[in-house]
Amino acid sequence: MPPTSPQAPGSIRLDRLRGSMERQDYSARKITALTVNPGCERRAVLDAAGIDKSGLAARLGPTAPFGQSPFAITRQRAFEEQLKANGYAELITLLRAELEVPVAEAAVADLNTVGENAGWWPRAGETRRLLGAIAADHDARVILDHPVLTLNVAGTNAYLVPDAVSHRIGDHLYIVVIKSFAAVDGQADAGKVAEAAKQAAVYVLALRSVLSGIGVDPTLVAEKFLLVLPKDFANRPYGRLVDLRQQLDAVRHQLARLGRVEERAATLPPEATLDLSTDPRTGHPTVGTDELVHTVEALPHLYGPRCLDMCELSRYCRDAALRDGDPAHLGSVVRDSLPGLASTAAAYALARGELNPSAAQEEVAALLGDAVRLRTLRLAGGAA
């Protein structure tokens, strides 16, 4: 049963934006995606309002495919199951080896369900209770499997579920992240490790916030996390402690910025809504596409090619960037080399002398002008 989400006491404005649709919860991945493009208020507001971005994107036009291969899903599941088989034997072995834990045994609290209940609240409550017990007992040897942590993100409660939290080791608790990309000869894909680290940072912050909430010193949570990967080409687990200080700063910074999301939402007209529901009788959408576009457009965005890897709305935003000739669609390097120029067409016209530069544009216009002149000369065979 999927976890059901209680109505968080979020902002009324954001709730209205979502309309009658069910709220899409924050996940660690969603939060880290925000740090990829920290300047984009559009995504920030949509996430804070819990809007189904895929559904919205589908209404707006072509969607970006974000499917996961069934092969990858099967593999991830098999690897996790293997680690947790036989009372988490492999995970415990790994903890012992990597964190030099002297104790061979540890109990595991399975927090995937509480009783029969897989809802957020009971799981979050049980997680809190167990954390309290662990904090009180220096020798507690309980590993938490899929604990539910809560974190206040821009006024809404996010429920975050790390793969595991280690038992208490040398007065520290460690977030455990299990991924199925391999570490070959001790090296894994740097981009994927960085992504996992950002997610771990979100979990660390959440775990600390839970501990603070129950009056426990949050520094109990380590600034490193245990990343568990398959070793080489097989399924044997390989684990490494990865430092998180940098990622913690980045995520903390982003979370602080999100505080302004409500203010941004408040600038929308009070009747603005992105309700994606359909009329049960007619099957027609309750809100017309034009209106959706209107509201989305009222939220400032900041398109960049990295959006293509992480945001459901990327095709829509890219189309707009193309239409406006926003230099960002050519990538950050081109964008950064065109200071003060808002469109590629204008830049090209300036470069060809078809437009007079303003005082602020003179320098870049002259440089581009030289470049275009030289290109024309050298392509025409003006070799020297």
- Residue 262 and residue 121 in contact, taking contact as beta carbons nearer than 8 Å: no
Q: Which of 120, 344, 361, 365 binds another protein (CB under 8 A)?
A: 344
Residue 305 interacts with which of another protein, ligand SF4, none, CB < 5 to 8 Å by class: another protein
Q: Does 340 bind another protein (CB under 8 A)?
A: no
Binding partner selected for residue 42 from another protein, ligand SF4, none, CB under the kind-specific 5 to 8 Å limit: ligand SF4
User: Is 190 among the residues that bind another protein (CB under 8 A)?
Assistant: no
Query: Does residue 371 belong to the site contacting another protein (CB under 8 A)?
Result: yes
| Residue among 91, 107, 113 at smallest CA distance from 4 | 113
Q: Closest separation between CB of residue 53 and ligand SF4, Å?
A: 8
Q: Give dist(CA 27, CA 46) in Å, integer.
A: 14
Non-local (6+) Cβ contacts of 66 within 8 A are 54, 312
Specify the DSSP element, H or E, that contains 18.
helix 12-18
Q: In the bound complex, what is the minimum distance in angstroms from residue 42's beta carbon to ligand SF4?
A: 4
Contact 159, 124 (CB under 8 A): yes
Which of another protein, ligand SF4, none does 181 bind, CB closer than 5 to 8 A by kind?
A: another protein
Nearer to ligand SF4 (CB atom), residue 56 or residue 158: 56
Query: Closest by alpha carbon to 353, among 369, 374, 341?
Result: 369
16 contacts which partner out of another protein, ligand SF4, none, CB within 5 to 8 A by kind?
Answer: none
Q: Residue 133: name its binding partner from another protein, ligand SF4, none (Cβ under 5 to 8 Å by kind).
A: none
Quick check: 204 and 211 in contact, CB under 8 A? no
Chain-centre distance for alpha carbon 283: 33
CB of 32 to another protein, least distance (A): 18
Q: Which does 302 bind (CB under 5 to 8 A by kind): ligand SF4, another protein, none?
A: ligand SF4
Strand partners, 226: 176, 241
Residue ranges in contact with ligand SF4 by CB under 6 A: 37, 40, 42-43, 301-303, 307, 311, 313-314, 317
To ligand SF4, the closest distance from the beta carbon of 43 in angstroms equals 4
Q: Which does 245 bind (CB under 5 to 8 A by kind): ligand SF4, another protein, none?
A: none
Pairing of strands 173-178, 164-165: antiparallel
- Strand spans (E) along the chain: 107-110, 142-145, 149-153, 156-160, 164-165, 173-178, 183-184, 187-188, 221-230, 237-243
Number of DSSP helices (H) and strands (E) in the chain, helices first:
15, 10
Which residues make up the interface to another protein (CB under 8 A)? 65, 67-76, 180-182, 184-185, 230, 232-236, 305-306, 308-309, 322, 325, 329-331, 333-334, 337-338, 344-345, 347-348, 351, 367-368, 370-372, 374-375, 377-379, 381-384
